[in-house]
Chains A and B, each alone.
Chain A
C-alpha cells in the first residue's frame, strides 16, 4: 500500500510544549521544509533561550544552544566556518527583539548569509508569562499591572520585521502566522524562500512567525486562532516586507 502521509523522521517522539503552543507546529513546518528540499543534512540551528529550547530533544538536526539573545552572533560564527551549510537561528521575540536586538540588527546590517526565524508570541513564556517588548497594548501579563500594557509606561509593541526590512543588506524579510491552514501554508513558503535565498544567493533573510501561546494569552487552545485574528494581526500585519527585486 502506498503511504500518503508519514511522520517526518526529523521529529522524534513527543514534545513538552503546552497544548495549542505554536512551537511544535513551527518545528514541524521547518522539519518539512528541510526534508522536502533535502537540506536536513546541511542544517545547523542556533537556538535561543526560552520556550524554544524544548525542541532540543526531539528535532534531529544539528543544534547549538546559545546564550540568551546571542543567536545571531553565534550563527555568524557558525556560517563563517561552515559556509556551504544551511544556518538558521530559532528565537523568541524576547530573545531576538529584546535582549538580542543588537546582535540581530548588526547581523542583518552585515548581510550575514543566514536566516533568522523569530517566533513572536508577545510574551515571555518559559518564565511564566511576563511582558515582552512585543506584548500588545492592554494585554495582561504577570508584570504588566492589572490593566495590562499601558503605552504611558512601556510604550508600544516592537515591530521587528519592519525594522529589519529597512536594513540595506537584508535580502528577504517577512512576517507570517500559523493560526489557520492557509497561514501555515504561507508560513512554510516564506521559510522555504528564506532558506533558498540563503543557500543559493548568500542572502541574510528574516522571517517573523506569529505564534499562539494559549497558556499565557489566557484563552483555550481552540480559541487562540480567533484571538490571533482579532487582536494580534491588527498590530502585526502579515506580508513580505522586503524581497529581492521582482520576486
Chain B
C-alpha cells in the first residue's frame, strides 16, 4: 500500500497531474490557486517536464492548446475571474477535440470578487464552455483525496473522449490539508496519434482548421451531442451518504457537502431519516438519479450551495420536474453557512413534510 501523506488540495492535484503523465503545465498566479503553481514550478523541472509561468491566463490556456495540439498532456489551473480570460480558448479546446485538463478553484463573487471560497461558477462551468455551446466533462471533488484522484483520472478521460476535463473545486478543498494516498507515476506514455508533430505531404495534421468538416458541420456537432449523451448514460458519478432509507435528501457538492455531512449525522441521531446526495460530475449532471428520488420513498430535497442566487438548484429542479418539494439553503461572501445552520434547516424541512 502506498504511503499516505498530508498535503493540501492544491499540492495533491499538482502531484497527481504529474503522476498521470502531465508533461506540460502553464499557468498564471491567482489566489487561491497560487500554491499549485508554486509546487509545479519546482516539481515539473525535477521530473523533466515543461513548466511555464505565462504572461496571463490568456497566454497560459493558449500554451495549453498548443501543447495539446502537439500531442502533450497539458494542464493548467486558475481561479474565479481568471476563468473568464480563458473562456474563448476553452471553447476552442472543446471544438478542436484537444485533450486537456483545467482546474478552477472557485472564489467568491462577480467582478473582482473576493478570495473566500465559493461555488459561484457552477452555471459558468456546466452550461456552455465559452461561446458555441459545447461542454467540458466537469468534476467536483469533495475532499483532498478525491481531488487527487479526479485529476489523476482526468488525463485518461480527456484522451479517451478527446475532450476538455474541467475540475470545478473551491478554495476550501484546495487549501485544506488532509492525508492522501497518491496513485503511481505513469511512465513512457505514448504520444497521441493525430497530433501535430511535423508530418507534411500526405500525413499532414490540420488541427481546428477551416477544412475540418468532420467537426465543423452539422454532423460534427451531432457527434458532440452523441458524446454528451454517452456521458449522461455511462460517465455520471456521484456519492450517496446515508441514503438507504432517507426521507429528506440534501444535495450538495464540494465545500457545501463537507459542511453538511456532519448535519446528516446529527439529524440521524435525532431520528430524522436524512441523507446526502453529492454530484461528482456536474456535467453531465446526475439528472436521472435525482429524478428517481420520488420512487425511493424520499419526501423532500434540500439544495445547499455557496452561491446567491443559487445556481445548481436549477439543475436539481429540472431533474425533479416538480415530483418532490425542493428547499434551499444558500449563502455567499462572508456568511458561509455552518453545520448547525444546515441542521436547523433540515429540521424545518422535516417538520413540513
Contact = CB atoms under 8 A, between A and B. Distances in A.
Interface of A: 9-10, 34, 40-44, 46-47, 53-54, 56-57, 60-67, 70, 73-82, 85-86, 102-103, 105-106, 110
A58 to B, nearest CB: 9
8 contacts: A41-B200, A62-B205, A65-B96, A65-B206, A65-B210, A78-B196, A80-B52, A102-B59
Given A53-B210, A65-B210, A106-B55, A74 B63 contact: yes
Chain B interface extent, by class: 35 or more
B55 A77 contact: no
B209 A67 contact: no
**In this complex, which of A46, A62, A70, A79 has the most chain B Cβ atoms within 10 angstroms of its Cβ?**
A62
A82 B63 contact: no
B79 interface: no
Contact of B196 (A54, A64, A105): A64
Interface stretch (B70-78, B221-229, B232-240, B305-313): B70-78
A47 B209 contact: yes
Contacts of B207: 62-65
A77 B64 contact: yes
A80 B50 contact: yes
Contacts of B59: 70, 73, 76, 102-103, 106
B243 interface: no
Contact of A81 (B58, B67, B200, B201): B67
B338 interface: no
A53 B206 CA distance: 12
Interface of B: 23-24, 26, 50, 52, 54-56, 58-60, 62-72, 74, 88-89, 92, 96, 196-202, 204-211
Contact of B66 (A9, A61, A63, A78): A78
B15 to A, nearest CB: 20
Contacts of A77: 24, 26, 62-70, 72, 74
Given A65-B96, A102-B55, 15 more contacts: A34-B200, A62-B200, A62-B207, A63-B206, A65-B207, A67-B89, A73-B65, A74-B66, A75-B66, A76-B63, A76-B66, A77-B64, A80-B24, A82-B196, A102-B59
Contact of B65 (A34, A60, A74, A85): A74
Contact of A82 (B65, B71, B89): B71
Which of A54, A77, A86 is packed against the most chain B CB atoms within 10 Å?
A77
A134 B253 CA distance: 51
B139 to A, nearest CB: 23
Contacts of A67: 62, 65, 88-89, 92
Given A77-B26, A77-B72, A102 B65 contact: no
Given A43-B198, A73-B54, A76-B52, A81 B65 contact: no
A131 B21 CA distance: 46
B69 A78 contact: yes
A105 B50 CA distance: 20
Given A64-B69, A77-B24, A80-B52, A85 B62 contact: no
A103 B58 contact: yes
A57 B57 CA distance: 31
Contacts of B68: 77
A62 B196 contact: yes
Nearest to A68: B88
A70 B209 contact: no
B153 to A, nearest CB: 22
Given A46-B66, A65-B209, A80 B200 contact: no
A38 to B, nearest CB: 10
A44 B70 contact: yes
